[in-house]
Amino acid sequence: HHEQGKGVLKAAQDGTEEVGMAVVVSTMTTLMAFLPLIFWDDIMGEFMKFLPITLIITLSCSLFVALVFNPVIASVFLRIDPNIDKLLGDRLLRRLTGYYEQTLGWTLRNRWKSLGAAAFGFLMMTVIWVVFTLSEYGVELFPSIQPNQIFVEVEAPLGTRLETSDAIVRQVEKRIQQTTDMEDYVVNVGNVQNMFDFGTSGGASHKSQVTIDLLKSYERSQNSFITMEAVGDAIRGIPGATVDVSKPDEGPPTGKPVEIRIKGQDFNVLARISDDIMSKIENVPNITKLKDNYDKGKPELRVRIDREKAALFELNTSMIANTVRTAINGTEASEYRVGTDEYDITVRFSKDFRQNYNDLLNLTVFHEGVHYPLANFASIELASGMSSINHVDGDRVVTITAESLGKNPAEVLEACKQRLTNYRLPAGYTMTFAGQNEEQQKSMDFLSNAFMIAIFLIFFLLVTQFNSVTLPFVIMMSVLLSFFGVFFGLWITMRPFGIIMTGIGIISLAGVVVNNAIVLIDYIQKLRERGLSKLEAIIEGGKTRLRPVLLTAITTILGLIPLTVGINIDFIGLFTGDVSKFIQFGTESSEWWSGMGIAVIFGLFFSTALTLIIVPIMY
């Protein structure tokens, strides 16, 4: 309007009135796309809910700024450059507008050929994505993030003494000394709460863990997955224990790629079923780290007290139990204070007197000045006892877990299901597939429903805005066109379809890509009300709205590129004086958000290009 000769105040007022309602509706469509995500429940919803809430608040504020502050600021500061015709950007835009006018005119004259070509291209892109991308890279629930830590789990036979576990872990330490990109490591030998407690509090002296901390992502010389494989190769073959390498679970807890729960009442039967199932699926291609959580029982010595004989010596079970506990595990006798620090003084037998079966038999119980040998009124037997019993929904359960070597865990899970299709369980026992498969199905169901609700809400807004049913269908074509870009982006970047991140990206596109079509159709409608023919209004509307449509798409794409490719700017370091890493490339953010970024960038790019052609044809 200012370029047409109007004053800045009049131009700001007329420009706001002309696009105001279209801007409100286009912003509302984006809000409607994110609104269903607020109601995402379960642990996945708690993890992702911050995203739609933040976007809804931010977009609402931006709408207020756009309609209230921007016109005022434009009326004060916006001026037309007298040399605008000489600017490179303006010359390129005029040339692009000329090409667009010619292309739009040709497609309008050959509308059926254009629509057929677009439909054929969409079909071919879908086929290419399904055949070459989905089959090769599959579907992932959550992105696989390079670990910042590596866990080395060491498990010796049940009942192994702490000293033996320590000797095994020291071998692990020697082998990981030359690990690439290692910053430091921490060793935990014997997973026990109390150093004097060897069984009463559920400790496990046969289990140990080495935690390797890696350098920051931008300081590493190689992918940390490669480092993880190198650690696994270095510690392979350590005698006397099972050694496993793993990484922390990033994001919300989703379980293992393969997780089979067997429910029943008899643990012995559950153990037999578990062994049988593992034998049937252990040869499934790409399956690894197959195990169950059945507690085989830890070895223990049980003291059987003959109450009648003990009564002859005026001894009761409590006195005998306290004596045995003090001898083996120790009893807190007093406290030792050094300044403000207090230390427990624990009394128990010397190591030389609690090593074997006979040491326990030679134990004496002191009562009223007399020592009574334990062998006089008790017997000792070797047995095993469970340290834990797992329940799910009140039923005893044994869980079989496994991981996938390939990039498509869903194929491994499906192969396991096929192997167990005809497997017969005893009466009263059930088998279910849980873990990542369960969470993946829940997330797919919710996001599918959220997408359909978002489409309905957007359609309802468009019907209200245009007072028409056919025009919203034309505008909603841009959502379908965005799928072309999503499929192409996943194909060209060779990425799996992320249930969470790509799914959120598609839902975001549903609210974003219709904005260009709304602005375009709204202006075409206004031109027709001013007396232009349909063809003239389409061409003139396309030419006039080309610049804002392109600027909207380009700014959105440029804003997402750093998030997608992992460009990070350390503003804190700039103010603190450490500018060595002011700009970082390949940061962790790209691993989290690149799936969503790729979906939005490619979807918006293709949708914008095709919207400028296909939507006018459909209109």
Residue 486: CB partners within 8 Å, gap ≥ 6? 502, 505, 506, 509, 598, 599, 602, 603
Q: What is the pLDDT of residue 196?
A: 37
Q: Dihedrals φ, ψ of 262, to 5°? A: -115, 120
Q: What is the pLDDT of residue 520?
A: 82
Model confidence, pTM:
0.71
pLDDT digits (tens, 9 = 90+) for 554-580: 888 888 888 888 777 766 666 666 655
pLDDT digits (tens, 9 = 90+) for 283-306: 888 888 888 877 666 667 788 888
Query: In the structure, what pLDDT confidence band is assigned to residue 396 with cuts at 50, 70 and 90?
Result: confident
Whether 274 contacts 282, CB under 8 Å: no
Angle value at C-alpha 369, between 363 and 375, nearest 5 degrees: 25
Rounded-to-integer distance, Cα 175 and Cα 209, Å: 14
DSSP labels, 45-80: HHHHTHHHHHHHHHHHHHHHIIIIIHHHHHHHH---
Rounded-to-integer distance, Cα 541 and Cα 539, Å: 5
Q: Dihedrals φ, ψ of 201, to 5°? A: -110, 20
Residue indicated by tokens 């050694």: 243
Query: In the structure, what pLDDT confidence band is assigned to residue 192 with cuts at 50, 70 and 90?
Result: very low
DSSP labels, 458-480: HHHHHHHHHT-SHHHHHHHHHHH
Q: What is the pLDDT of residue 197?
A: 40
Rounded-to-integer distance, Cα 442 and Cα 250, Å: 19
Judged against a pLDDT cut of 60, whether residue 143 lies above it is answered with: yes
Number of Cβ within a 10 Å radius of residue 6: 14
pLDDT digits (tens, 9 = 90+) for 63-112: 888 888 877 777 776 666 555 555 556 677 778 778 888 888 888 888 78
As a whole number, the mean pLDDT across the chain is 79
Q: Dihedrals φ, ψ of 444, to 5°? A: -60, -45
Residue indicated by tokens 């996938």: 404
Structural domains in the chain?
88-142+440-618 (1.20.1640.10), 146-249 (3.30.70.1430), 257-294+388-433 (3.30.70.1440), 298-385 (3.30.2090.10)
Judged against a pLDDT cut of 50, whether residue 606 lies above it is answered with: yes
Q: What is the pLDDT of residue 317?
A: 87
Q: What's the whole-number mean pLDDT along residues 456-482?
A: 82
Q: What's the whole-number mean pLDDT along residues 402-423?
A: 79
Judged against a pLDDT cut of 80, whether residue 378 lies above it is answered with: yes
Rounded-to-integer distance, Cα 486 and Cα 495, Å: 11
